[in-house]
Amino acid sequence: MSNALMSRVLFALLLLFAATQPVWALNDDPTELVRQTSEQVLQEVAKNKQELTESPGKIYLLVDDIVLPRFDFTRMSRLVLGKHWKRASTAEQSAFVEQFRELLVRTYATALLNYSGQEIKYLPTRMVDGASDVMVNTEVQEAGGPKIPINYRLYRTEDGWKVYDVVIDGVSLVSNYRSSFASQVRRYKLKGLIAKLEARNNRDK
């Protein structure tokens, strides 16, 4: 993943890394949910900026606490692994979900300190009554730069809408990792990929 794409992914996920459980679970409008979540997370970051800067470890605790209810990591993992998911044992599937989730949490935790006032525009969402899958489209205006489309794929669950992919400037987070992990599975097998993810996650602790 390029540095430019990484920075955009960081910001995209930052926008969803907050909101109390009632907002996420009870709001039946996915666009409004993304809007409220974005506003709340940016307020929290601004309010606790000094504390988070002085104690970086709290960022990981914060992200770990609020990301889990927002994303469906099992669905994301299944999409990322593709055909390799079906071939994996139940134990391997669980291990991959755990390490992939940890990778995302640790990789994107630093986004909580990187927001610098970019303007966010929420575009109309095309959604039919009773839809169970939807794309929420936004645009982020960076200072002195072009508008960056950031789109969120969500699906409806009993607990409300869950995010299972983020598409930044036409690049899918799921597809990006699927391509990267596929080559590693071919080279190291799934067991080897899981071991590498675990080693990386432990190194970053």
Nearest to 193, CA basis, from 180, 204, 202, 203: 180
Domain that holds residue 116: 3-203
DSSP state of 129: T
pLDDT of amino acid 110: 61
The pLDDT tens digits for 12-55 are: 665 555 443 444 444 577 887 777 766 766 676 677 778 877 77
Instruction: Residue 118: give its domain's CATH number.
Output: 3.10.450.710
Give me the mean pLDDT over the 96-122 stretch. Answer: 77
User: What pTM, to 2 d.p., does this model score?
Assistant: 0.79
Nearest to 17, CA basis, from 61, 83, 81: 61
> What domain count does the chain have?
1
Amino acid in position 129: D
User: Which DSSP string corresponds to 163-195?
Assistant: EEEEEETTEEHHHHHHHHHHHHHHHHHHHHHHH
